[in-house]
Structure 1
Amino acid sequence: MKTTTKHDERMATMIFASVYPHYVTKVEKKGRTKEELHLVINWLTGFDDAKIQQLLDEKVTFEQFFQAAELHPNIHLIKGVICGYRVEEIENPLTQKVRYLDKLVDELAKGKKMEKILREEK
């Protein structure tokens, strides 16, 4: 699925620390915890709590955030629609990674079981 150049540039330059509080609010409003959010971020990126905090403090862009990440080998199992885009069809690699994170946060907020969110191939 094609996204516009403007959309992709906006994703790249967006500051992770500006979006993070919205992730926390979204999951906590639905009865999940910040710790569960960090578990999801860790699964996707390999970042522990200290690294997440460091990236928040440094106010990194999503481009810098994902450049520092070691993505989980099972990210190809993340499928579905988020923000009107089917994540597995997004052509821009960075935009796709941002939407993967959005999708995992959304699944957490919707009450999906953690073992389903943290995809393991069968």
Structure 2
Amino acid sequence: MATRDISKILFTAVYPLYVQKAERKGRTQEEVNTIICWLTGYSREQLGQRTKVEINFQDFFSQAPSIHPNISLITGLVCGVRVEDLQDPITYRVRCLDKLIDELAKGKNLEKILRQ
């Protein structure tokens, strides 16, 4: 079975799933946005624009103003894969974002999620 190139998946399609996952666990869209803005350097306005147009993860991360320098502190398993072992930069960034959203949904404190 062929694996799907994660960089081609639409961020626009996944973003609402991130929000739904967080809200099911009593967290907020605002917290999801805080995490995404922290990781990518997008402003709230820029993120809002990106959620309204079809943009894949490749372009979403390529256009990001600045990837947070503490991204290297994000470790652990996502979808059975150790995040820190990923070699492809886009896959690594997507899985780091997945990991942060997972931590939010599990009730972790936002300051700890943001590695502050």
How high is the TM-score relative to the length of structure 1?
0.89
Q: Which residue of structure 1 aligns with residue 98 of structure 2?
A: 102
Matched, 1:71 2:63: no
| In structure 1, C-alpha distance between the alignment counterparts of 2:53 and 2:43, rounded to whole Å | 15
Superposed CA deviations along residues 55-111 of structure 1, whole A, max 9, x for unmatched, are: 122211100000011100100000000011100001111101000000000000000
* Whole-angstrom CA distance in 2 between matches of 1:20 and 1:74: 22
* AA in 1 matched with 2:20: T
Q: How does 1:22-101 map to 2 (within 5 A)?
A: 22-69=17-64, 70-101=66-97
How many residue pairs are counted as aligned between the two chains? 114
Amino acid at match of 2:6: M
Q: Structure 1: which 5+ residue stretches go unaligned?
A: 1-5
Give the aligned partner of residue 111 of structure 2: 115
Q: Which runs of 4+ in 1 moved over 4 A?
A: none
Percent identity between matched residues is 49
RMSD: 1.1
In the alignment, is residue 10 of structure 1 matched against residue 5 of structure 2? yes
Shift in Å at residue 10 of structure 1? 2.0
